[in-house]
Amino acid sequence: MSRRTVIASALVLVFVAGALSASADRASESAKLPAAMKTAEPAAAIPANHPFGKVANGMNEVDVRKILGEPTSSKDYMTGKAFLPWNFGRDSSRQEWTYKGKGLITFSRNAATGSLKVIKVTYDPSK
């Protein structure tokens, strides 16, 4: 066997052993997580007669204001897509409107046009 073959075989074995070790570490870390962190709890169902039931994904902020009125508070935050050099406008930031005693409406902002579109309706009377 040539020296080159021996070195290549040794490198392959080291790489495979490292990959298996990292995989085992991740599996053991996952097993240590509490059950609540492993699976997300489903959001509460929106009652049939609640105004949040009229808000649908894809609606703009004007339509949401017509249905729900002004929010109690709002929060803006950037998504990871804001840092991608090839992302030209879609979902680079979000705006979250809180309605006290009702829940949250989450919008995605198009950086190119500034328009907001509903991406998530969270019914949570404790908010």
pLDDT tens, 41-63?
A: 556 788 888 999 999 999 999 99
Name the band, by pLDDT with cuts 50, 70 and 90, for residue 27. Answer: very low
Q: Which pLDDT does position 40 carry in this prediction?
A: 43
Q: And the tokens for 95?
A: 């705006």
> CB-based burial of residue 96 (10 Å sphere; 0-12 exposed, 13-18 middle, 19+ buried)?
middle
pTM: predicted TM-score of the whole model, two decimal places? 0.62
What percent of the residues of the chain are helix, what percent strand, and what percent coil, each to the nearest 5? 40, 25, 40
pLDDT at 82 over 70: no
pLDDT at 26 over 60: no
The arithmetic mean of pLDDT across residues 98-119, rounded, is 91
pLDDT at 39 over 70: no
Q: Which pLDDT does position 4 carry in this prediction?
A: 75
Q: Which residues contact 94 (CB under 8 A, 6 or more apart)?
A: 76, 77, 78, 79, 106, 107, 108, 109, 119
Comparing 97 with 42, which gets the higher pLDDT? 97
CA–CA separation, 38 and 85 (whole Å): 32
Q: Check the CA dihedral 86-78-110-104 and report its sign.
A: positive
